[in-house]
Amino acid sequence: MQISLALPEILMYIAVKMKVNKSQDPKTVTIEVTLPLLPGSISTARSTCGKPQCACHADPDKRHGLYYRWTGVLNGKRTTKTLSREEALACQVRIRNYRALQQTIEALLRQALENAPWANREAK
Ligand SMILES: [Zn+2]
């Protein structure tokens, strides 16, 4: 997927690669986004159950799990979802794509600050 857009709109997108189109309009950059994307993070946990006699209460190594969880913001609220291992692995791939895009945006923004309107003032 390729998105070509004017610089101020870049924040609305997520990307992995970026190249400035020197031969074309210098006010645009092409960002290559690897899909699918997912924000948030994956964590794992073990837990104890409600049965008082269960070994999980006495020995931390006998706790239940491993449980996989996704945590992120969903509809404006910090949310945790319990996942299967397969879902967690699929989420990891998407989160990696998203983080790569964030890095691309951060690099763009660093460059933007270097080229800010005040950057060309002559030293006095
Ligand atoms: Zn238990």
Instruction: Name the residue type at position 82.
Output: T
H-helix or E-strand containing 107? helix 85-114
Give the distance (Å) from ligand 1 centre to CA of residue 64: 6
Contact between 100 and 34 under an 8 Å Cβ cutoff? The reply is yes
| Total number of residues shown for the chain | 124
Other C-beta atoms closer than 10 Å to the C-beta of 42 total: 19
pTM over 0.85, yes/no: no
Unique residue bearing structure tokens 């990307």: 15
Q: What is the CA(118)–ligand 1 centre distance, in A?
A: 62
Contact in structure between 46 and 67 (CB atoms under 8 Å): yes
Kindly list the domain boundaries of the chain, sorted by start residue.
2-114
* C-alpha to C-alpha distance for 108 and 64, rounded to whole angstroms: 45
DSSP state of 42: E
CA of 58 to the centre of ligand 1 (A): 9
Provide the residue type at 56 as one letter. C
What spacing in Å lies between the alpha carbon of 71 and ligand 1's midpoint?
24
Q: Encode the chain (124 residues) as per-residue pLDDT tens digits.
A: 444 444 433 444 444 456 655 555 568 888 999 999 999 999 999 999 999 999 999 999 999 999 999 999 999 999 999 999 999 999 999 999 999 999 999 999 999 999 899 988 876 6
In this prediction, residue 9 carries a pLDDT of: 39
